[in-house]
Amino acid sequence: MQSLNKVNIKDAMNEKDGFQVWWRLLRPHTLTASFVPVFVGSMLAFREGHVNILLFIAMLIASMLIQAATNMFNEYYDYAKGLDTEDSVGIGGTIVRDGIKPKTVLRLALAFFGIAILIGIYISIQSSWWIAAIGLICMVFGYLYTGGPLPIAYTPLGELFSGFLMGTVIIGISYFIQTNTITGEVLIASIPIALFIGAIMLSNNIRDLDNDKENGRKTLAILLGRKNAVRFLALMFIVAFITTATLIIADIFPLWSFITFIGIIKAVDVINKFKGKTEPIEMMPAMAATGKTNSIYGILLGISLVISMYI
């Protein structure tokens, strides 16, 4: 029966073997939380005439490696604590369904951290050693997010930490390494992205609410309840777009940034996909759509910053 459940879950989630096992381990739908902030921070710098392609690529790779490693730590420690089973929905599944050894996942996460450190050294040499210190702090929090005695992801603070560290901090670093300075306007400009990244975490916790509650977690979704958590998710989207409009009016974002409001269509789709759903597998499309909302908004924002330089 256990192997039958395993097959059913893999079929229901359309999970393939081979290369896709390792691809799922990265949890690619979450990598928007690392790509978008680097892109936006770099385009904010580009708008002011600063761009170093090598630094942009290095920052992008390092950020994505840290994000992927954090996902692997998540998978390893959830398995080690008995929170993930063959029937769990929404995880990478490389340990519980694909048979990858837990130690392999942990070692790969540490290897990704190691590569990110080497890239961070290059970035620091080219900009400032303060970047190394901030980067190490981010990596520590990446580990503590699901590791350590009290993982951040098991508390109501997961959305706050993920939004601030992956949104505001990464945008700030991406801007700083290009310009060698940081401004209050850049930090304010990071607020919408921070909200969208926090929304990705909240949508994940809404999906996993029942299982998390059974295992003693105290996520924001559990404290609010599913219906109120979906309402709060909608509020986060609303605040992000209102903030964007305010930043345009304040001339921090160019007028062209109104194209980001195309993302409202996908944000509404997220909420509609959550409505009336109670089973984790039913909420997977909503979870994926939340990541796409961040991608659409972030890419359009970056494009608007570039367009404003030439039109």
pLDDT for residue 233 is more than 90: yes
pLDDT at 92: 58
**Distance between CA atoms of residues 290 and 77, nearest Å:** 25
SS3 content of the chain, % helix, strand, coil (to 5): 75, 0, 25
Calculate what percentage of the chain has a pLDDT beyond 70.
89
Average pLDDT over residues 6-29: 63
202 residue type, one letter: L
Backbone torsions φ then ψ of 218, nearest 5 degrees? -130, 55
Q: What is the mean pLDDT of residues 10-16?
A: 52
Please check whether residue 22 is in contact with residue 108, taking contact to mean a CB–CB distance below 8 angstroms: no
Is-contact 293 199, C-beta < 8 A? Answer: yes
Q: Residues near 304 by Cβ (< 8 Å), separated by ≥ 6? A: 253, 254, 256, 257, 258, 259, 260
pLDDT at 203 over 80: yes
Q: What is the mean pLDDT of residues 66-77?
A: 86
N-terminal to C-terminal alpha carbon distance within the chain = 63
State the pLDDT at residue 192: 98
> What number is the average pLDDT over the span 227-241?
97
Stretch 12-35: mean pLDDT: 72
> How does pLDDT run across 277-293, given as a tens digit for each residue?
988 889 989 999 999 99
Per-residue pLDDT, 217: 86
**C-alpha angle 12-15-17 in degrees, rounded to nearest 5:** 145
pTM of structure = 0.88
Q: Tell me how far apart the alpha carbons of residues 143 and 296 are, in angstroms, rounded to a whole number.
A: 28
Tokens of 300: 């359009």
8 A C-beta contact, residue 305 and residue 254 = yes
Average pLDDT of the residues of the chain? 88
Task: Calculate mean pLDDT across residues 9-27.
Answer: 63
> Are the beta carbons of 178 and 212 closer than 8 angstroms?
no
Sequence-separated (6 or more) residues with CB below 8 Å from residue 229 = 202, 205, 206, 209, 220, 221
**pLDDT at position 87 over 80:** no
Residue 134 has pLDDT above 70, yes or no: yes
Task: Give me the mean pLDDT over the 229-250 stretch.
Answer: 98
Domains identified in the chain and CATH numbers: 2-306 (1.10.600)
Q: In whole angstroms, what is the distance from residue 198 CA to residue 49 CA?
A: 30
Angle at 74 between CA 110 and CA 17, to 5 degrees: 85
> pLDDT-based confidence at 6, cuts 50/70/90?
very low
